[in-house]
């Protein structure tokens, strides 16, 4: 009595292998999406902490460093000293003596041609970046740019005032910041008549995400104009479908 050995079906094993490879690839990419931002965040914090330590610790007296007492070089000690020192400087600068010292120092700097330009530029940037007063864009909008028929996302800064408004022929002119993609910190400052600006319902944060992602991340539609427009479109489509169905029923009758 002879026994026959069954050969594996190669037609079914190949798709299984491809399915396993596809699942592993999908899981691997999902893992990368999870691990990459966490790893980069930890690496940036670790690198920034080490950079601050390398600048601050040499200025700290040796007897004030914790490594002298515990025998371990702790990363981040320089950051703590930097925060404490900066806080003390800010507290002193708010007082009368601090303001007097700052004014006296700025008067000396104003007499130095090159140093004066550098100091004023750095001071202006620092005041803009670290200002405690909230200055945010009012709203996201669409404007026709770079030519008619093409639209770009912009952010409404303010309403044009002063000489700018006096020189322009339109009564209401909006100050629009037009960001670039994918870096929204650079862009163009445009003065656009209000009637040429289409204001968006999406928040400024959602519009910024749309710009940074180069149009890949769209925010969820909000209730309001978008909902009304969708309702109108759905009503029109339903009306057309109803007319088509009634016409077909009449023809069949």
pLDDT tens string 184-241: 888 999 999 999 999 999 999 999 999 999 998 888 877 654 444 444 444 444 444 4
3-state DSSP assignment of residue 198: strand
Is 145 found in the same domain as 205?
yes
Is 160 found in the same domain as 87?
no
Confidence of residue 6 (pLDDT cuts 50, 70, 90): low
3-state DSSP assignment of residue 115: helix
pLDDT in the model for residue 62:
83
User: Is 246 a member of any domain?
Assistant: no
183: CATH: 2.30.30
DSSP state of 171: S
User: Is 234 a member of any domain?
Assistant: no
Q: Count of domains in the chain? A: 2
User: Is 240 a member of any domain?
Assistant: no
User: Is 201 a member of any domain?
Assistant: yes
Is 147 found in the same domain as 96?
no
pLDDT per residue over 26-72, tens digit each? 999 999 999 999 999 999 999 999 999 999 988 888 888 888 788 77
Is 159 found in the same domain as 98?
no
User: Is 188 a member of any domain?
Assistant: yes
Tokens of 2: 């002879």
Find the domain containing 45 and state its range.
22-103
User: Is 52 a member of any domain?
Assistant: yes
* Backbone dihedral region for residue 70 (phi beyond 0: left; psi -120 to 50: alpha; all else: beta): alpha
User: Is 225 a member of any domain?
Assistant: no
What is the pTM (predicted TM-score) of this model? 0.50
């Amino acid at each position: 009595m002879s026994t026959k050995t069954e050969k594996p079906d190669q037609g079914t094993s190949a798709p299984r292998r491809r399915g396993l490879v596809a699942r592993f690839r999908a899981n691997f990419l999902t893992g990368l999406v999870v691990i990459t931002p966490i790893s980069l965040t930890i690496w940036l914090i670790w690198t920034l902490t080490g950079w601050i330590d390398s600048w601050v610790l040499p200025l700290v007296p040796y007897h004030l460093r914790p490594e002298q007492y515990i025998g371990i070089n702790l990363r981040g000690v320089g950051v703590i000293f930097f925060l404490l020192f900066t806080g003390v400087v800010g507290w002193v600068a708010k007082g009368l003596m601090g303001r007097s010292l700052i004014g006296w120092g700025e008067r000396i700097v104003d007499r130095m041609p090159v140093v004066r330009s550098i100091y004023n530029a750095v001071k202006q940037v620092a005041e803009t970046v670290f200002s405690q007063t909230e200055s945010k864009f009012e709203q996201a909008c669409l404007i026709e740019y770079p030519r008619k028929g093409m639209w770009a996302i912009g952010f409404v800064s303010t309403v044009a005032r002063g000489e700018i408004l006096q020189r322009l022929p339109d009564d209401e002119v909006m100050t629009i910041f037009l960001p670039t993609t994918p870096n929204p910190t650079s862009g163009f400052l445009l003065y656009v008549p209000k009637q040429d600006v289409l204001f968006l319902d999406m928040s400024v944060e959602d519009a910024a995400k749309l710009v940074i992602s180069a149009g890949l991340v769209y925010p969820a539609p909000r209730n309001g104009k978008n909902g009304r427009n969708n309702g109108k479109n759905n009503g029109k489509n339903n009306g057309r479908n109803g007319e088509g169905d009634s016409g077909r029923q009449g023809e069949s009758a």
